[in-house]
Amino acid sequence: MRISKGWAGKKVLSSPFVVQLLIIMYLVEFVKGALLVSILPVYMRQVLDLSAYAVGWALALQYIGDNAFRSPLGWVIDRIGYRYVMLFGVLFTTASVLIVAFMHGMEWIVIACLLLGIGTSPLWPCVINGATTVAGNEASGTIMSVVYMAWLTGVGCGPIVINFFIVHTYAPAFRILIGMMIVVIVIAFLLPGRKRSMELENREAPVAATSEFAREKLSLPERVRRYFAKVSSSLHASKLLYPAMFTQNFALGLLTPVLTQYARTVLHLTPQQYSMYLVAGGAVTVLGLIPVGKWVDRFGTKWFLHFGFITAAASLSILGYTRSLPLVLLIVAFVGLGYACIIPAWNALIAQAIPKSERGAVWGFFLTIEGLGMVFGSIMSGKLWDMLGPHSPFLVSGAVLLLLFVLHLFITRHKADVVR
């Protein structure tokens, strides 16, 4: 058994299809990270002289566009394959970069942010669905580790690298981003079309269900309702998985808006020190992903999630009250260790629950639920900070992870009952 799982992992990582998806993931996240972190906020304030309120709304449109289209595009993947869905996304993303580079004015930036959100919305459904389809349950932990490594390195490298090319003008930075998107478009053309996608997923086109709905002449809302009811009935997991997915990203969303503010105003870190602390936590996570992913494939998800939830919950709760910088660095490393266990195990757990016949649609639906958790967490984070103090988002995030630990206990119990 161990040999077959190791072979499955090597097969996945040597698959040209998976490699194409990972390259697209890295390059698109590089471009997105560079735009959202290093270029757009400063560019809109200093060059276009926009207000902070306008900047906030423009960036919010990006996230709304991304989250709104994930579910329908996951459904479309199951019908027309990967190539045209990904091309739709990367062309919109390229248009966004071109608008920011060559157009001026608030209305153009708003359009660019919306296009960026819509353009990146197929990315996660395509990559996760395609990678886990090739991996199967035997190597789901390994492949999810690799996917998240591509994401983390892309998001991290984008803002850092592009800053070296922003000196007196943004032109060199825009040329690099446009060049990267041209490479992404070429790779997207090489992705499998409808027929090849069906062969990769070892299934036939879902014509029967569509014709059944058509014969009954159902309205579109009713067809959608019945479709998801059918998919839900075929899921191999507890219904508690839905609130658990929301909760997992809600805990993360509580931290995202306040991390920089906490580092600068409470810990009084310089930008260089803050970068060092982020690298410390991120490095522990990235370095732990591959070995943990392999162990998840060998030993299962249960104990890695137990350890990850408890470790991250305790570390985040303590972090909110800690002012000693050496101790903060140690705690951040433990947060990274917790998430190194959570990320591959959690996504492997979700992948095992998804029915083979509608992988794209269900991944898109699940990613939308997770995205909503991030949205509500981000909104609540600022309120907690203003009402209860800087420590409160960290404390609540830790408490939410403890709640997730309890939910996971019931989910694993349900899984054991199903096996029996």
DSSP letters along 138-175, please?
GGHHHHHHHHHHHHHHHHHHHHHHHHTT-SS-SHHHHH
Query: Both 271 and 140 in a single domain?
Result: no
- Can you tell me the distance from the alpha carbon of 374 to that of 378, in angstroms, rounded to the nearest whole number? 6
Query: Both 201 and 256 in a single domain?
Result: no
* Structural contact between residues 245 and 376, judged by C-beta atoms closer than 8 angstroms: no
Q: Is residue 383 part of a domain?
A: yes
| pLDDT at residue 209, as a whole number | 45
- Residue 166 CB-density burial (10 A; 0-12 exposed, 13-18 middle, 19+ buried): middle
- Phi-psi category of 218—alpha, beta or left, where left has phi over 0 and alpha has psi -120 to 50? beta
Query: Both 3 and 152 in a single domain?
Result: yes
- Can you tell me the distance from the alpha carbon of 351 to that of 328, in angstroms, rounded to the nearest whole number? 34
Query: Both 267 and 391 in a single domain?
Result: yes
* Structural contact between residues 133 and 200, judged by C-beta atoms closer than 8 angstroms: yes
| pLDDT at residue 232, as a whole number | 62
Query: Both 184 and 263 in a single domain?
Result: no
Query: Both 75 and 138 in a single domain?
Result: yes
Q: Is residue 283 part of a domain?
A: yes
Look at residue 234 and give its three-state secondary structure. coil
Query: Both 180 and 301 in a single domain?
Result: no
Q: Is residue 399 part of a domain?
A: yes
Residue 323, domain extent: 236-420
CATH classification of the domain holding 127: 1.20.1250.20
Q: Is residue 228 part of a domain?
A: no
- Can you tell me the distance from the alpha carbon of 151 to that of 141, in angstroms, rounded to the nearest whole number? 15
Query: Both 167 and 124 in a single domain?
Result: yes
| pLDDT at residue 43, as a whole number | 72
H helix runs in 69-164, sequence order: 70-80, 82-102, 106-120, 123-135, 140-163
Q: Is residue 221 part of a domain?
A: no
Q: Is residue 142 part of a domain?
A: yes
- Can you tell me the distance from the alpha carbon of 345 to that of 350, in angstroms, rounded to the nearest whole number? 9
Query: Both 201 and 332 in a single domain?
Result: no
Instruction: Show the low-confidence residues of the chain (pLDDT under 50).
Output: 1-8, 207-214, 417-420
Threshold 0.95, pTM exceeds: no
> What is the tally of structural domains in the chain?
2
Token representation of residue 238? 């507890």
Query: Both 178 and 256 in a single domain?
Result: no
- Can you tell me the distance from the alpha carbon of 178 to that of 41, in angstroms, rounded to the nearest whole number? 19
Query: Both 104 and 153 in a single domain?
Result: yes
Q: Is residue 370 part of a domain?
A: yes
Q: Is residue 216 part of a domain?
A: no
- Can you tell me the distance from the alpha carbon of 69 to that of 123, in angstroms, rounded to the nearest whole number? 11
Radius of gyration of the chain (CA): 21
* 406: number of Cβ within 10 Å: 12
Query: Both 162 and 298 in a single domain?
Result: no
Look at residue 103 and give its three-state secondary structure. coil
